[in-house]
């Protein structure tokens, strides 16, 4: 009860949606026409900034996909290509992931990529989401998340693929897999990444409730590893990186692989069925209506 109470206070907006949507995907409601003309970030400016410190062997990857670093197909493609370049560069041993947008690390998957799109396009998008997860989760480099803002759903997934998570200690920020609050379901590999991070029971509660945690709550359950004032997040990440890079690469990499391989192998062996599953789920009429209502609510909150 206490947990649920805390969740309601924290996620007034999300609770509002769950109150408005009947359970069981029987959503009936009209979708606002303005959603189809949702403002898109069509800028050709780089969506990822990479600053490589050759001496330290560490790159800072800054996510810069305004306004909220949502994970669109274009963003994911650029992100994977940048990460692959660093992975191939033997002089780069560590990556710090952070956001260049104020108050948000990443708003998660770009909902517009899942709303009103053809099955082919949805499939292409999902493959890119899988690719991002596979590249990050199986990276040989040390990856540290400097979470300087809210990080719901796909943003939380991205953070959980990292080896260590440092979050800005600001009670306005939140992090978690909130998919159920949108009327959608976190796939098995999102779930397993969370189980591998915080354990089975905590994940069971978190996923069913679609729980978003404050930084302090996230630290309590082990979803993040350290809280620091926001202006110290990069220096702390850099210091932490030095400690991690002091461990011989091969020993650390084999250990990392041992911990993560079962989950990675599972997705690798089910990639195509997972894409089909996603496409058939996301294109269903009730799911589309849920997403439409959620998007409308995100906008209404501003006015
Ligand atoms: C049987 C099993 C089968 C399983 C099959 C698979 C099922 C599907 C799995 C899908 C998994 C999905 C994962 C996801 O990541 S879904 C995305 C979830 N994200 C969220 O819920 C976050 C929503 N956003 C927010 O809460 C806030 O925006 C945020 C706290 C991040 C920032 O708040 P702030 O006040 O700073 O900014 P605004 O809310 O005003 O937003 C600015 C504009 O950005 C738009 N926006 C926000 N988030 C998104 C998003 N995720 N995608 C697209 N667009 C987004 C928002 O609408 C504003 O737009 P406008 O400026 O045009 O109004």
* Ranges 43-52, 115-124, 215-224: which has the least confidence: 43-52
Hey, which of 107, 161, 181, 290 would you mutate to test ligand 1's pocket, going by the most ligand atoms within 8 Å of its Cβ?
107
Name the CATH superfamily, with its identifier, for domain 48-302: 2-enoyl-CoA Hydratase; Chain A, domain 1 (3.90.226.10)
154 is catalytic: yes
ipTM surpassing 0.90, yes or no?
yes
Per-residue model confidence (pLDDT) at position 43: 78
Ligand 1 centroid to residue 11 C-alpha, Å: 13
Indicate the pLDDT class of residue 24, thresholds 50, 70 and 90: very low
Say how far apart CA 15 and CA 275 lie, in whole Å. 29
Rg, the chain, Cα only: 19
Q: What is the mean pLDDT of the chain?
A: 89
155 is catalytic: no
**What is the reported pTM?**
0.90
Q: Rounded to whole angstroms, what are the CA distances from 129 to 13, 61, 139, 268, 278?
A: 26, 18, 15, 13, 11
Asked if the model's pLDDT at residue 10 lies above 70, the reply is no
Say how far apart CA 249 and CA 246 lie, in whole Å. 8
Does residue 147 contact residue 187 with C-beta atoms inside 8 Å? Answer: no
β-partners of residue 176 are 152
Hey, which of 68, 129, 300 would you mutate to test ligand 1's pocket, going by the most ligand atoms within 8 Å of its Cβ?
68
Say how far apart CA 157 and CA 138 lie, in whole Å. 14
- Mean pLDDT value of segment 99-107: 98
Q: Is the CB of 12 under 6 A from ligand 1?
A: no
Indicate the pLDDT class of residue 34, thresholds 50, 70 and 90: very low
Helices in 100-214 by DSSP H: which ranges? 119-137, 154-160, 188-198, 200-209
Does residue 85 contact residue 253 with C-beta atoms inside 8 Å? Answer: no
Which of the two residues, 41 and 208, has the higher pLDDT score? 208
Per-residue model confidence (pLDDT) at position 303: 66
DSSP string, 62-120: EE--TTTT-B-HHHHHHHHHHHHHHHH-TT--EEEEEESSTTBS---B-GGGTSS--HH
pLDDT tens, 196-211?
A: 999 999 999 999 999 9
Per-residue model confidence (pLDDT) at position 36: 39
Asked if the model's pLDDT at residue 16 lies above 50, the reply is no
- Cis-peptide, bond into residue 67, ω within 30° of zero: yes
């Amino acid at each position: 009860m206490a947990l649920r109470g805390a969740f309601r206070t924290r996620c007034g907006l999300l609770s509002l949606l769950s109150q408005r949507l009947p359970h069981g995907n029987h959503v009936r409601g009209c979708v606002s026409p303005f959603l189809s003309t949702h403002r898109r970030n069509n800028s050709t400016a780089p969506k990822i900034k990479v600053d490589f410190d050759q001496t330290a062997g560490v790159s800072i990857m800054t996510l810069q996909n305004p306004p909220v670093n949502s994970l669109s197909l274009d963003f994911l493609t650029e992100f994977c290509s940048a990460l692959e370049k660093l992975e191939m560069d033997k002089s780069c041993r560590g990556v710090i992931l952070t956001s260049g947008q104020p108050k948000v690390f990443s708003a998660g998957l770009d909902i517009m990529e899942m709303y009103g799109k053809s099955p082919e396009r949805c499939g292409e998008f999902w493959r890119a989401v899988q690719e991002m997860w596979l590249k990050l989760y199986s990276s040989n480099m040390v990856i540290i998340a400097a979470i300087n803002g809210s990080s719901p759903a796909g943003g939380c997934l991205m953070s959980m693929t990292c080896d260590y998570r440092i979050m800005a200690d600001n009670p306005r920020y939140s992090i978690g897999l909130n998919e159920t609050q949108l009327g959608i379901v976190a796939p098995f590999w999102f779930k397993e990444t969370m189980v591998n991070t915080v354990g089975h029971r905590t994940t069971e509660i978190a996923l069913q409730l679609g729980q978003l945690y404050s930084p302090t709550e996230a630290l309590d359950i082990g979803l993040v590893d350290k809280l620091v004032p926001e202006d110290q997040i990069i220096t702390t990440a850099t210091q932490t990186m030095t400690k991690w890079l002091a461990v011989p690469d091969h020993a650390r990499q084999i250990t990392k692989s041992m911990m993560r391989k079962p989950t990675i192998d599972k997705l690798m062996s089910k990639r195509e069925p997972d894409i089909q599953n996603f496409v058939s789920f996301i294109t269903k009429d009730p799911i589309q209506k849920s997403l439409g209502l959620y998007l409308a609510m995100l906008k209404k909150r501003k006015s």
